[in-house]
């Protein structure tokens, strides 16, 4: 089938990209090639013909980097599956033995539980943390990777007095100069997800920063804010925050309390720092380089929408360039 179509139209681009995906022998391919034939000759057509040829080459090379699991690999996977299955449901020997064991176990459990309840009332926080841990947050809501991207898409926005710019595969805060009558030591700039998160929805913000050495000139922060974020101050009032100052990582709760002393990071070992804040309606788990640094109630409002993002607080006049954002992902179940 051949038909005329403007090669620069959106209609043809949709057809062409469908054809490039599905490949030779698909209906879209025949249609796209038919349109190119009908278009005759010309530089546009020649370029498209080369595209078609490159796609045909890929089709011929479908086996490139294809790989099949060897028996050793399959054995390892199946052994792992068996272990997972066994840990969920242990095989039991016989009905009689099961019955006898069951009676004994039930009695013992009842006694133990009763004693435990009397001595240690159940910790609802622990249950909430375990529940949040069990949610598999894997679906991307929005992603940014400055190693491959230079533009910031519309689902993210930049706020604050400190401009943020993409430089050398990072998002970095620009230097700010002190203004007359402005005695503030730090000013801030942030990148945040434009869309808010409903308070009853579990989410995870997963951030990778590059930090070249301990500094107080730039303080990176990963935050979950209750309510809208102020466009000038780049903060949302009440927030759950992970921050790194002078090489020491800390978590700060919305009531400004600091639940633990903070941990000095070994930045010489690696300049990349990964931070994950996982949260639902009431609970948060904060991890830094896969180590849990906080788990428990986050004390954010149970009704206000939440905003997530990354902020840089920059000391006025500081010009150090050792801190940058490499990537940020927001994930949902």
Partner 1 sequence: MQQKRAEKTGPKPPKPEKVEEVADLQPVALGKSSDEELMRRTQNGDKSAFSILYDRYSSAVLSYLYRMLGNVEDVESIGQEVFLRAFRFAPTYRFPQKFSTWLFTITRNLAINHSRRRKRSPVRNITELNLDGVDISGDPYQVASKATDDLEKQEELARVLKHLDELPTDQKEVIVLGVFQDMSYAQMEEITGTKAVTLRSRMFHGLKKLASLVGRTIESPKEK
Residues 178-237 that bind partner 1 (CB under 8 A): 208
Question: For the chain, how far is it from start to end, CA to CA, in angstroms?
Answer: 44
Which of 17, 44, 174, 301 touches partner 1 (CB under 8 A)?
17
Which of 2, 3, 11, 13 touches partner 1 (CB under 8 A)?
13
Q: Is position 57 an interface residue for partner 1 (rule: CB under 8 A)?
A: yes
Q: Is position 70 an interface residue for partner 1 (rule: CB under 8 A)?
A: yes
Token pair recorded at residue 98: 């099961």
Q: Site map for partner 1, 147-166, x if CB under 8 A?
A: xxx-----------------
**Beta carbons within 8 Å of 318's beta carbon, 6+ residues apart:** 175, 217, 218
Size of the site for partner 1 (CB under 8 A): 72
The piece of 69-77, 111-119, 217-225, 300-308 that touches partner 1 (CB under 8 A) is: 69-77
Q: Is position 22 an interface residue for partner 1 (rule: CB under 8 A)?
A: yes
Q: For residue 123, give the 3-state DSSP assignment.
A: coil
Cβ atoms of residues 311 and 189 within 8 Å:
yes
CA 299 to each of CA 132, 172, 241, 316: distance values in angstroms, whole numbers, following the listed order: 15, 30, 12, 31
**Beta carbons within 8 Å of 36's beta carbon, 6+ residues apart:** 7, 45, 48, 49, 52
Which of 5, 35, 52, 225 touches partner 1 (CB under 8 A)?
52
The piece of 47-55, 104-112, 170-178, 233-241 that touches partner 1 (CB under 8 A) is: 47-55
**CB of 68 vs partner 1, minimal distance in Å:** 5
Segment 245 to 304, residues that bind partner 1, using CB under 8 A? 269-270, 272, 274
Cβ atoms of residues 325 and 205 within 8 Å:
no
**CB of 116 vs partner 1, minimal distance in Å:** 28
Q: Site map for partner 1, 108-147, x if CB under 8 A?
A: ---------------------------xx-xxxxxx---x
CA nearest 219: which of 190, 240, 261, 196? 190
Kind plus residue range of the DSSP H or E element containing 158: strand 156-160
Which of 78, 103, 107, 110 touches partner 1 (CB under 8 A)?
78
b/e 135-169 (16+ beta carbons within 10 angstroms → b): eebeeebbebebeeeeebeeebebbbbbebebeee
Which of 1, 67, 95, 118 touches partner 1 (CB under 8 A)?
67
């Amino acid at each position: 089938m051949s038909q005329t179509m403007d090669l620069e139209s959106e209609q043809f681009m949709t057809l062409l990209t469908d054809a490039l995906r599905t490949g030779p022998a698909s209906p879209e391919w025949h249609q796209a090639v038919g349109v190119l034939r009908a278009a005759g000759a010309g530089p546009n057509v020649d370029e498209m013909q080369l595209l078609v040829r490159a796609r045909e080459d890929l089709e011929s090379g479908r086996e490139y980097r294809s790989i099949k699991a060897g028996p050793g690999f399959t054995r390892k996977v199946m052994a792992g599956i068996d272990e997972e299955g066994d840990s969920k449901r242990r095989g039991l020997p016989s009905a009689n033995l099961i019955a006898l064991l069951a009676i004994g176990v039930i009695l013992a459990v009842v006694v133990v539980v009763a004693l435990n309840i009397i001595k240690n009332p159940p910790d609802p926080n622990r249950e909430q943390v375990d529940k949040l841990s069990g949610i598999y947050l894997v679906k991307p809501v929005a992603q940014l990777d400055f190693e491959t991207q230079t533009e910031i898409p519309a689902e993210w926005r930049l706020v604050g007095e400190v401009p943020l710019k993409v430089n050398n595969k990072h998002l970095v805060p620009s230097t700010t100069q002190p203004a007359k009558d402005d005695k503030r030591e730090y000013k801030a700039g942030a990148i945040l997800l434009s869309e808010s998160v409903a308070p009853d929805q579990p989410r995870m913000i997963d951030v990778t920063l590059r930090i070249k050495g301990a500094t107080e000139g730039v303080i990176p922060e990963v935050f979950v804010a209750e309510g809208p974020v102020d466009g000038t101050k780049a903060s949302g009032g009440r927030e759950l925050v992970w921050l790194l100052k002078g090489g020491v990582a800390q978590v700060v709760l919305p009531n400004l309390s600091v639940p633990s002393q903070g941990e000095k990071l070994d930045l010489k070992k690696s300049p990349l720092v990964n931070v994950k804040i996982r949260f639902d309606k009431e609970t948060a788990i904060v991890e830094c380089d896969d180590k849990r640094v906080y788990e428990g109630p986050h004390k954010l409002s149970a009704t206000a929408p939440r905003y997530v993002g990354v902020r840089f607080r920059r000391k006025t006049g500081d010009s150090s360039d050792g801190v940058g954002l490499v990537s940020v992902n927001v994930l949902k179940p």
